[in-house]
Amino acid sequence: MRRLLPNILLLSLMILCACVEADPVTAPSAAPPPASAAPGPVGNMPLLPAGSHLGMVVSFEPVPRSIRGKVNQELSTAYSKGMKITRVMADWADLEPRPGKYDLGDLREALEENSGKGLYTFVTISVLDSEGMVAPEFLMDEDDPGHLKDGKRFNDKEIVEQFSAMLEHIVPLMVSNRVFAVALSNEPQAYLESHPGNLADFVDFIRAGRDRIHAIEPRLAVTVVNVGRIMNTPLGDDPMVADLVAVSDVVTFNYGPFTNNPEEIAIDNPQRIPQDFRELAAAADGRQIILHELHCPSGYRSGKSPMNTSLTRQSECLRTSLDSMMQMPQFRAMYFASMLDWSPNLVSMFTDPLRAETSVPRLYVDQFAEWYATMGLVWYSDGTPKPAWNAFLEGLDKLYK
């Protein structure tokens, strides 16, 4: 059971790169930051406006027409209060389907739409993602998708040069559209835990990617999205985090205040959050921090919560996280995991296979389902904001007024 949580979380995050927004909503324009004659120092984000920032993903699937008007109205309120950051995710495999042939249409559309709204974007281009390796198919071992072809390693010249050539096309596109940071993988620890011999090679690969990006645009901060907690191990002492921090300009985490019990998915007392933030800061080794996903599910509207959460606890979690961020200037950007809950169909897509597994405890599956069915700040069924949405708007007021 102790390895069940990482495996199920890995499955649950497989579609996180399919983030979509509602119909376009105009955000107030903001002038781009002034050009810098010299590279920004390691640890900074020269392309992000000064201060700390709060944003979110709107939805992981198309927003239903029946609630689109309500969602857009709430988005307009957030923009009017100063929200100015967003994020985009893509896999290397999707960006380069054939050797040297790049499919950048979706990425360009998303970046230009965000830039047109006056938003600053954090981009993740995954080589390793929560579900494993997402390198282009032509580089993968046909018989073992967990490895590169012909026994190659991440730091082999062919692999590094292939990725660097793609960056030559992508970096100018990003910088011209208000991208302030780019992550070169999302939660690679999920893969590296089962392939520990690849850690050093992968660190070399990230270092080479960072150096190529800096050669094109020295102000663009390079990072990797790390897991925000590893059971019973200080993050800064774990080489799967520390070695990647060492080759990052800034440090990025996914985080939620989950309990320390690896056999459950439950929300702990939000009072623990300030200490967790201090531990994240220590692991960042002096670098500025981005919280790529903040998970604070609300629980269902009625009935007992399998995750031991509630609407009140969700609000407390968000407010405590905001207060902690504002007291620690090292935290520069924080994204709530999703404005909108997952739809019942999407939740079922991931929970039905788990329910069919007799070895998976029923409570565990119920917790997993509640997490994603109630992860947002707005109810999927009718577009009604939850109390934590007001906490989010209050946070924008504190940050920008």
- Around Cβ 95, how many Cβ atoms within 10 Å? 18
- N-to-C CA span, the chain: 48
Beta bridge partners of 227: 254
Predicted pLDDT of residue 230: 53
CB–CB of 267/296 below 8 Å? yes
Where exactly are the structural domains of the chain? Answer: 4-400
How many residues in the chain? 401
- At residue 256, the pLDDT reads 93
Given the candidates 3.40.50.720, 1.10.8.10, 3.20.20.80, 3.40.720.10, the CATH classification of the domain at 4-400 is: 3.20.20.80
Q: Residue 223: its pLDDT value, please? A: 98
In tens digits, the chain (401 residues) has pLDDT values of 323 333 444 344 333 333 334 444 545 444 444 433 334 456 789 999 999 999 999 999 999 999 999 999 999 999 999 999 999 999 999 999 999 999 999 999 999 999 999 999 999 999 999 889 999 999 999 988 889 999 999 999 999 999 999 999 999 999 999 999 999 999 999 899 899 999 999 999 999 999 999 999 999 999 999 988 655 556 777 888 999 999 999 999 999 999 888 788 999 999 999 999 999 999 999 999 999 999 999 999 999 999 999 999 999 999 999 999 999 999 999 999 999 999 999 999 999 999 999 999 999 999 999 999 999 999 999 999 999 999 999 999 999 98
Per the CB < 8 A criterion, the answer to whether 127 and 187 are in contact is no
Question: According to the model, what pLDDT value does residue 341 have?
Answer: 98
SS (HEC) of the chain: CCCHHHHHHHHHCCCCCCCECCCCCCCCCCCCCCCCCCCCCCCCCCCCCCCCEEEECCECCCCCHHHHHHHHHHHHHHHHCCCCEEEEEEEHHHHCCECCECCCHHHHHHHHHHHHCCCEEEEEEECEECCEECCCHHHECCCCCCCEHHHCCCCCHHHHHHHHHHHHHHHHHHHCCCEEEEEEEECCHHHHCCCHHHHHHHHHHHHHHHHHHHHHCCCCEEEEEEECCECCECHHHCHHHHHHHCCCCCEEEEECCECCCCCCCCECCHHHHHHHHHHHHHHCCCCCEEEEEECCCCCCCCCCCCCCCCHHHHHHHHHHHHHHHHHCCCEEEEEECCCECCCHHHHHHHHHHHHCCCCCCHHHHHHHHHHHHCCCCECCCCCCECHHHHHHHHHHHHHHC
How do strand 120-126 and strand 85-91 relate by DSSP bridges? parallel
pLDDT at res. 145: 80
